[in-house]
A = this chain, B = another copy of it.
Amino acid sequence: MNVLSQGREGWHVSFVMKHPLLLCTALVALCAAAPAPSPAALAPVEIVAAAPVSDWAPIAQADLLVMDLAPDAKGTGRRVVIQLLPAPFSQGWIGNIRKLAVAKWWDGTSVNRVQDGYVVQWGDPDGEDKAKAKALPEGLGNKPQDQYIETAAAKPGCSSDFCLEDPTPEQWFKAGLRSDPYAAGTGIYQGWPLAHGKKQNGLYEVWPIHCYGTVGVGRDYPPDTGSGAELYAVIGHAPRQLDRNIAVVGRVIEGMEHLSSLPRGTGDIGFYKTAEERTPILAIRIGTEVADLPRFEYLSTESKSFAAYADARANRRDAFYIRPAGGVDICNVPVPVRRVP
């Protein structure tokens, strides 16, 4: 049977056309008006497919981290493309990650841990053994843990590309995002899901969150915060308990399946017991250093198309559904990313 034919499109948009596409302008009105599923309503993936080119925003090659794993058993290459989080979030760790990539430090390291429903982790398999650990490049300081969280002030005059001052968290994209169990509020701004605390003295705590595909920095027990040499990607239900406890540095935008389908670890918490089980990492580079890297773009979270997409994620009215949910959680509204057509 044709189960779930209007499935989650995931990080890389697939195009499953089942109904004639409508113009997004018409669509917004249609979705807003329709209280129940209708054969005429579009699925989120169809709304994304119908988005005009002007609703897509480019992702700079300089903000991509490209990981090439050893080819699979059939000899097929396995490339994972990670988009790094923009300023002001986690920039201390991201600066380290850029230095590690330039130094080609990860080349010859491996994926060492795959814990089902939780994370895939990579880096130096001997990282915990002081005698055998691979030396890190110069100048990778241990960042303070207060940098897991940023502070936003509700005042004007900010001009940065990813300014937390204007718009304030109240002005982030929040349509369909009902109450969140982990934060005072969540929203999507400039392409990234964020959470914030209660407003106090005109200030908010703001932090990036853990969703499926999120990439973060492995660390030891506090006060250690990790250098960025040890990274992980989420392969299960969003482990939001990690928010504010560890540095989030980006998200996988292509090749997620090369991590999520790896054999699960044979030891405690998913670490492989033997070196043979690990997946070798051939190279990790910044996007600008990868000659054959395609261009990527994301559906602008400030666009009408994204508003219609998020509304459809919160209220499925396409033909497969009979009961719209009436809401959605922040990790169930993945920002559509695709190769530039």
Contact = CB atoms under 8 A, between A and B. Distances in A.
Contact of A332 (B179, B237, B268, B269): B237
Given A182-B327, A326-B182, A240 B332 contact: yes
Nearest to A223: B322
Query: Taking chain A's interface residues, is the majority helix, strand, or loop, or is none over half, making it mixed?
Result: loop
A155 to B, nearest CB: 26
A239 interface: yes
A306 to B, nearest CB: 17
A1 B123 CA distance: 9
A116 interface: yes
A302 interface: no
A92 interface: no
Contact of A245 (B178, B224, B323): B323
B329 A240 contact: yes
A220 B7 CA distance: 13
Contacts of A167: none
Interface in A202-222: 211-213, 218-222
A119 interface: yes
A171 interface: no
A200 interface: no
Nearest to A205: B323
A181 to B, nearest CB: 4
A22 to B, nearest CB: 19
What is the size category of the interface that chain A forms with chain B? Answer: 35 or more
A212 B269 contact: no
A5 interface: yes
Interface stretch (A79-87, A254-262, A280-288): A254-262
Nearest to A116: B257
B241 A117 contact: no
A220 B1 CA distance: 6
B2 A240 contact: no
Interface in A303-321: 313-314, 316, 319-321
A243 interface: yes
Contacts of A110: none
Nearest to A39: B221
B270 A226 contact: no
B332 A329 contact: no
Contacts of A178: 179-182
Interface stretch (A10-18, A26-34, A53-61, A156-164): A10-18
A1 B115 contact: no
A70 interface: no
A277 to B, nearest CB: 11
A222 B39 CA distance: 11
A31 B128 CA distance: 30
Contacts of A135: none
A18 to B, nearest CB: 9
A10 to B, nearest CB: 5
Q: Which 4 A-B pairs have the closest CB atoms?
A: A3-B218, A179-B179, A178-B181, A181-B327
18 contacts: A1-B220, A1-B229, A3-B232, A4-B232, A73-B73, A116-B260, A116-B261, A145-B322, A182-B325, A182-B326, A221-B319, A241-B332, A245-B320, A245-B321, A261-B261, A261-B262, A261-B263, A261-B264
